[in-house]
Structure 1
Amino acid sequence: MASGSTGVVIAAMVANGGIAVLKFLGFLLTGSPSMLAETYHSISDTGNQVLLLVGIKYSEREPTQIHPYGHGKAQFFYAFLVS
């Protein structure tokens, strides 16, 4: 499941990053404060994707003595942070 999720999250992160750049260019061209606000919104969405990637990678860690059942639930914790 994680490998498919990783690809989707990376694609969303790239898309959100590109949208943020385009919105910022729109702000520079128009001077519209709402475009600047939308730029920050897209940057926030990109940051959310980074948190989801951290959760996916952390959940793939092997079980340890302290966490004998592994770290699989970490993915849900980071998804909760994003929500």
Structure 2
Amino acid sequence: MMFWGGDMGVLGYILMGVSFVLFWGAIITAIILFARSMGAGNRYKDGGPRSGVAENLLAERFARGEIDENEYTARLTVLRRGWGA
């Protein structure tokens, strides 16, 4: 059914433009979110953000002799318990 002789008017063109932008914005956002969740760069699968980095830093301090074995094992236990919780 056409009103006003088949002309949508200014409001019709504005709504059509806005809906076009929203539709394609939603499609592009969905693709980006899907790609990020499936990507190999997902570092948060191991229980916490960058937990491996903290353990590596602790191991380096132990290797340099900055901390002894008891402190290393105690801190490593705390790190692993904190990421798993």
Q: Which one scores higher on RCO, CA 8 angstroms, separation ≥ 6?
A: 1
What is the TM-score with the length of structure 1 in the denominator?
0.38
Structure (1/2) with the larger helix percentage: 1
